[in-house]
Structure 1
Amino acid sequence: MTAASANKDTLIHDNILDAVGNTPLVRLPADFDPEVQCEVLLKLEFGNPGGSLKDRIAIHMIRTAVERGDLIPGGRIVECSSGNTGAGLAMAASALGFDITVVIPDKMSQEKISAIEALGADVVITPANVDIDDPRHYTKVAGQIAKECGGWWPDQYHNTDNTDAHYRTTGPEIWKQCEGRLDAFVAGAGTGGTLTGVAQYMKEVDPSVQIVGVDPPGSILAHWWKHREMCESGPYAVEGAGEEEVPGAWDPDIIDDYFVIEDALSFHTARKLASETGIFAGGSSGMNLAAALKVARKLPASARVVTILPDGGRAYLSKVYSKDWMRDRRFLPPVSQNGATLQDLLRNRERAAVSPEDTLAWAVHQTGERGVRPLPVLQNGELAGVLDEDAAIACMVQGEDLDQLRVADFIQPAPTVLEATSPWSEALSQLQESECVLVRDGKGLVPFSRRDLIRALPRLKHEA
């Protein structure tokens, strides 16, 4: 049984790969956007076992490569990925007995990288801020590694098996779930495989179905579709969509319209979807939905629009679903530097305090595993100092039993304490001479370091 032929009514699968596909199609609540009168349906691709729609292409590309003899038993797969294809390939490689190396840009979330490593892949991190012709670009690095080790490089961006996977599975599933009635299909493109594969199927069964592509700003695809010329690419924050070159898996001629969706709208739409419907999806899902709503606003109540939610929100807890990250990147409104306080710069981070009577083992847990540094020591609610990390480390090096030692013997003077209501510039002044201060807010004491300051300064709006 393959993902393309798996029966949704099958109760027991022979392996994890047979569970890929047949993801649910869910109706967006009618009151989500008051301007939309028609039906909007969401294909929840994070229901795949690897967590994204890329599971489909991973299985199909590997099995087709094996059939062609391009990938031999015991061989190594080498691929460049923004994360989801890497996870899908790593899952399939593990199930089928292949070694795998995944090359991923450093702008991708740590959650994605950790998931790929957990599936047994070797991960190579490359800089995201290099031109596509740079040898350090993740596509170039993947090709070079494959060449050096004799591995198979799927090259998802130019592999038409990518497109074929969606023509064979995603398109037919949507058509069947819609019972042959839909007016528009909306999806972003990175490799272009999803958009093109589904479009090819839809145009075969009903040429009137409108195919709408979605692009983030900085990608060249929407510009190429409209003008058939290259433009300079730029940075964008959404992951898994957009491209710096024209991918071979993408067919611009089959697309009827193209929208460019700003990162901020993509992320706010994803966050709204999660908080108002319980559908917890990633940033590119927000991008697709924002575009689908633009399409739907122009259609009559009898129409039906389908879009793809490529992956889930758990891979973006440190990004799209982090208010700190959203504020640092100015996807939430900045604060005037003239009236900003330290509270405006504080992060949602681990907090803890210990008492002199606590064990050194407990204090080391707070500062080591939870990262609370410096660790406040409170006695009767008052700040007695902070943990002496050097003395604690010395005991650990000597192999002493930390459960038998008390924090009272490992206290050093605390750094400067500032009030959260203080002007932010007070922290700037103090951090010129020290690495960290403590800030007192309504929840207690929280460390604030130079790194915290560097990360938070973009939140401030500089006025003349």
Structure 2
Amino acid sequence: MAVDGIDNEIKSSALDLIGNTPIVALDRIHPGPGRILAKCEFMNPGASIKCRSSLHMIRKAREDGLLEPGQPVVERTSGNQGCGLAVVCSVLEHPLIVTMSKGNSVQRAIHMEALGAKCVRVPQVEGTYGSVTNADVQALEEVCTKIVEDNKAFYVNQFSNTRNSEAHYLTTGPEIWRQTGQHVDVFLAAVGTAGTFAGTSKYLKEKNPKLLAFVVEPAGSEPIKGEPITKPMHLLQGSGYGVVPDLFDYDHMDGTVSITDEEAVKYMNLLGTKEGLYLGYTSGANVAAAMKLLESGKVPKDAWIVTTLNDSGLKYTPVPEELTK
């Protein structure tokens, strides 16, 4: 028997846990002037922002007749998209096979397989463990193609699937606008597939044409800025692959911010010790970029900067010792 009010608090599945993440003020790292506000995407059931696009891409594929009930799903991933897809596919009963570089954290493979997915780890072409290059990502494509053919599977193709960025236009952007009381001066995000940045910045700029949107790139791997690639290997897994992503749109960008591994680690550690949040490298990079902007004079000193805390620190191997000194 239903109890009045109780049913409204009970979620029907893990899919209902995706999105509507809270925003937290990072006032201990930056007490002002201005404010850094961060969307807590690590609180999604797959522990990353990729749960949003995973749910949207799979739902739309089913609605469009591209994915039949029970049909296998295949994707190449740095780990987070695979974890998000594993959440969605387990609930919707689709077998999931993902390819992931051996350079990505093994913790991600463990996570996906715990949710019922099969993770095929592909040897690196030029990177090292913890640093994955575009060549490593491209090596996944050939393996993926064969798996799709052998299993008559649906290939998600997050790097070119416009439903990826659409997920953030429909959810992340509107949530930020509502949660901040329609007060967003700056939005910034690290870019991998560019889905988060493209969809969120498009929505927020429609609401506030004066809003400034910045891309966060690893120092030495800044193709969006137009710089030659001098450091293809860096710690920001899932971003900075050295190419301009298919989903990226310069129309919604006002500039870029370069972040070193050391800066990302510094703010990742500060998020833990000052804000009580154990997060990954791109989260540290996003907050480091927000601090840089506030100190640079490129944005008003009293600006409210919104960014994303992309994933849990539990998805990573410990920080290299030389970067913590």
Please give the alpha-carbon distance, in whole angstroms, between the structure 1 residues aligned to 2:306 and 2:137. 39
1:193 corresponding residue in structure 2: 195
Q: Which amino acid aligns with 2:102?
A: D
- Which TM-score applies when normalising by structure 2? 0.90
Partner of 2:309: 309
Instruction: Report the Cα distance in structure 2 between the residues aligned to 1:134 and 1:173, rounded to whole angstroms.
Output: 34
Q: Note the C-alpha offset of 1:231.
A: 4.7
Contact 1:75 1:151 in 2 (8 A): yes
Quick one: distance in 1 between partners of 2:181 and 2:140?
A: 41
The answer for the alignment partner of 1:60 in structure 2 is: 56
One of 19, 23, 26 as aligned partner of 1:25: 23
Structure 1 residues 159 and 218: CA distance shift in structure 2, 3 A: farther
**Structural mapping, 1:316-327, within 5 Å:** 316=316, 318-320=317-319, 326-327=320-321
Larger Rg: 1
Which letter maps to 1:303? Answer: A
Judged with a 3 Å threshold, the aligned counterparts in structure 2 of structure 1 residues 97 and 293 are, in CA distance, closer, same or farther, namely same
Query: Residues of 2 paired with 1:51 and 1:255: CA distance?
Result: 27
Inter-CA distance 236–179: structure 2 relative to 1 (3 Å threshold): same
CA deviation after TM superposition for structure 1 residue 301, in Å: 4.9
Pair 181,10 (structure 1): closer, same or farther in 2 beyond 3 Å: farther
* Structure-1 separation of matches of 2:135 and 2:110: 28
Q: Which of 154, 157, 163 is the aligned partner of 2:165?
A: 163
Q: State whether residues 83 and 113 of structure 1, in contact with CA within 8 Å, keep that contact through their aligned partners in structure 2.
A: yes
Shift in Å at residue 139 of structure 1?
3.0
Match of residue 289, structure 2, among 288, 291, 302: 291
Structure 2 partner of 1:69: 65
* Alignment match, 2:219: 217
- Bigger relative contact order, structure 1 or 2 (CA pairs below 8 A, ≥6 apart): 2
Aligned-residue Cα RMSD (Å) equals 2.1
Q: Deviations over 1:152-210 (max 9, x none)?
A: 11110111100000000000000000111111001001000000100110111111110
Aligned partner of 1:226 in structure 2 is 225
Partner residue, 2:4: none
1:89 aligns with 2:85: yes
Contact 2:265 2:324 in 1 (8 A): no
Which of the residues 238, 241, 256 maps onto 2:239?
241
Cα drift, residue 332 of structure 1:
3.4
The worse-fitting range, judged by mean Cα deviation, of 126-135 and 164-173 is: 126-135
Q: 163-172 or 133-142, which moves further after superposition? A: 133-142
Q: Could you tell me how far 1:242 is from its partner in structure 2?
A: 1.5
Paired residue for 1:332?
324
Q: Write the letter of the residue equivalent to 2:103.
A: K
Select 2:118's aligned residue among 122, 127, 135.
122
**Cα distance between partner residues in 2 of 1:125 and 1:136:** 13
* Alpha-carbon distance in 1 for matches of 2:257, 2:119: 33
In the alignment, the residues of structure 2 paired with residue 136 and residue 186 of structure 1 have an alpha-carbon distance, to the nearest angstrom, of 27
Once residues 24 and 236 of structure 2 are traced to their aligned partners in structure 1, the CA distance between those partners, rounded to angstroms, is 23
Q: CA deviation at 1:75?
A: 0.7
Superimposed CA distance per residue, residues 101-138 of structure 1 (whole angstroms, 9 cap, x where no aligned partner): 01111122121110001000111001233475689712
* Residues 266 and 284 in structure 1, CA contact (< 8 A), matched pair in contact too: yes
Residue 430 of structure 1 is matched in structure 2 by none
Distance 2:231 2:29 in 1: 33
**Unaligned runs of at least 5 residues, structure 2:** 1-6, 127-132
**Alpha-carbon spacing, 1:207–1:10, altered in 2? closer, same or farther (3 Å):** farther
Contact 1:77 1:98 in 2 (8 A): yes
Which residue is equivalent to 1:208? 210
Confirm or deny: 8 A CA contact 2:100 2:122 kept in the other structure. yes
Contact 2:125 2:136 in 1 (8 A): no
CA apart distance, 1:23: 0.4
- Cα distance in 2 between the residues matched to 1:277 and 1:134: 34
Question: Structure 1 residues 89 and 50, CA, compared in 2 at 3 Å: closer, same or farther?
Answer: same
Is the 8 Å Cα contact of residues 77 and 154 (structure 1) preserved in structure 2? Answer: yes
Residue number in structure 2 paired with 1:49: 45
2: CA distance, partners of 1:267 / 1:134: 23
Count of aligned positions = 311
Change (3 A) 1:165 1:27: same
Q: CA deviation digits over 1:29-56, x for unaligned, max 9?
A: 2x5247x521110111011111111000
Equivalent residue number for residue 390 of structure 1? none
Measure how far apart 1:296 and its partner are. Answer: 2.1
Partners of 1:39 and 1:301 within 8 A in 2: no
Question: Is the Cα contact below 8 Å between 1:44 and 1:308 reproduced in 2?
Answer: yes
State the TM-score, normalizing by the size of structure 1: 0.64
CA drift at 1:147: 2.7
Distance in 1, matches of 2:136 and 2:20, equals 39
Asked if 2 retains the 8 angstrom alpha-carbon contact of 1:181 and 1:304, the reply is: yes
The SS at the match of 1:137 is helix
- Percent of aligned pairs sharing the same letter: 37
